Structure 1
Amino acid sequence: MEIIQVVGFGLIATVLILILKEQKPMFAFLIAVATGILIFLMLIGKIGSVVAMLERLARSSGMDMIYFKTVLKIIGIAYIAEFGAQIVRDAGQESIASKIEMTGKVLIMVLALPIISIIIETILKLMPA
């Protein structure tokens, strides 16, 4: 039950943060960042399993791997942008967090353009003239 470990670790970190927040706010922030990174590292194995399974499915379906890799990049950008924005929000910098999220969205749009154009071309080929 990994979720119990993650929740327990998060609760312990939260108690430490609440204790340190008044005396040493910088240490409290560092504990919050370290906790987020450690929880993410705990998930790396699970993420790898999901990616491997999706890759097997993509290969068996005959899908062009460039599209699969693009979708993985898009998912990675979304998670990294969200993680970074949450850390910045924890530091009280809402405006910077918003900029990180906006940058993630723009990068996702840029990566998605080739896929979107192929979908549109396919739809246009299927439509009667």
Structure 2
Amino acid sequence: MDIIQIVGLGLLATVLALVLKEQKPMFAFLLTAFTGAIILLFLLGKIGAVIRVLEELAIKSHIDMVFLKTILKIIGIAYIAEYGAQIVRDAGQEAIASKIELSGKILIMVMAIPIIKIIVETVVKLMPA
């Protein structure tokens, strides 16, 4: 029941952050950021297991690993951008959080271009001349 541990840690950190916010807002923010990092570290093993399963499926399906790696990078960009934006929002910087999200979306589009190109080329080849 990993989720119980994660929720417990989150609730404990929330209570501590609320208490600290009155006296030392900077420490409350640091506690929040640190808690997020701990939760992320806790999940790294699970993320690794998912990636290994996806790699095995790609190999069995004879899918080019470049596609899988690109998709995993895109997913990573999305999660990292969201995580960073949430931390910045917690610090009260909505404008910067929006820029982080926009940057993540642009980087995702850049990473997706090779896949989109291959899909379009494949569709064009299938069309009668």
Equivalence for 1:41? 41
Whole-angstrom CA distance in 2 between matches of 1:92 and 1:57:
42
Aligned counterpart, 2:31: 31
Structure 2 residue 62 is the aligned partner of structure 1 residue 62? yes
Counterpart of 2:63 in 1: which secondary structure?
A: coil
Q: How does 1:1-129 map to 2 (within 5 A)?
A: 1-129=1-129
Deviation at 1:70, TM superposition (A): 0.7
Distance in structure 1 (CA, Å) of the matches to 2:45 and 2:101: 26
Task: Please state how far the C-alpha of 1:37 moved relative to its aligned partner.
Answer: 0.3
Structure 2 gap ranges (5+): none
Q: In the aligned structure 1, how far is the partner of 2:100 from the partner of 2:89?
A: 11
1:124 CA drift (Å)? 1.3
- Give, in angstroms, the shift of residue 53 of structure 1: 0.1
Give the paired residue count.
129
1:55-79: CA deviation from partner (whole Å, max 9, x where unpaired): 0001111111111111111111000
Within 1, Cα distance between the matches of 2:50 and 2:64?
Answer: 18
Cα RMSD of the aligned pairs, angstroms, is 0.6
- After TM superposition, the score normalised by the length of structure 1 is 0.98
- What is the alpha-carbon distance in structure 2 between the residues aligned to residue 61 and residue 122 of structure 1? 18
Runs of 4+ in structure 1 off by over 3 angstroms are none
5+ long unaligned stretches in structure 1? none
